[in-house]
Amino acid sequence: MTALTWISANQEMIYIVILMIFLGIEVIGRVPSVLHTPLMSGANAIHGVVIIGAIIVMGKAEHDNYLALSLGFLAVILGTLNVVGGFVVTDRMLEMFKKKKK
């Protein structure tokens, strides 16, 4: 019962999640195997969006909450690594593919 009311309270979110799952599957359905690694790397960069959570946590931390400040700071660094490193490394891989085409 609670599960059902939860469903109807969060129906939009549930719709978004389900549609996103379908989209994720559809969108890469036809990827040729040479692109598996760059695609994996690009997807890796996209989930770096978790950095936004780290920024929010960090930006809401009180000035005397050292646990939150230090862990949040670490989270921001790690999240940035994921995003920046992810996109740059993907671009490097794909640059290789590009160069060969010409």
Contact between 50 and 79 under an 8 Å Cβ cutoff? The reply is yes
The nearest distance, CB 22 to its own copies, in angstroms, is 6
The nearest distance, CB 12 to its own copies, in angstroms, is 3
The site map against its own copies for 5-44 (x = CB under 8 A) is -------xx-xx--xx-xx--xx--x--------------
Q: Which of the residues 3 through 62 are near another protein (CB under 8 A)?
A: 4-8, 11-61
Cβ within 8 Å of residue 73, ≥6 positions away: 58
Token output for 77: 């660094």
- State how far the Cα of 48 lies from the Cα of 89, in Å rounded to an integer: 13
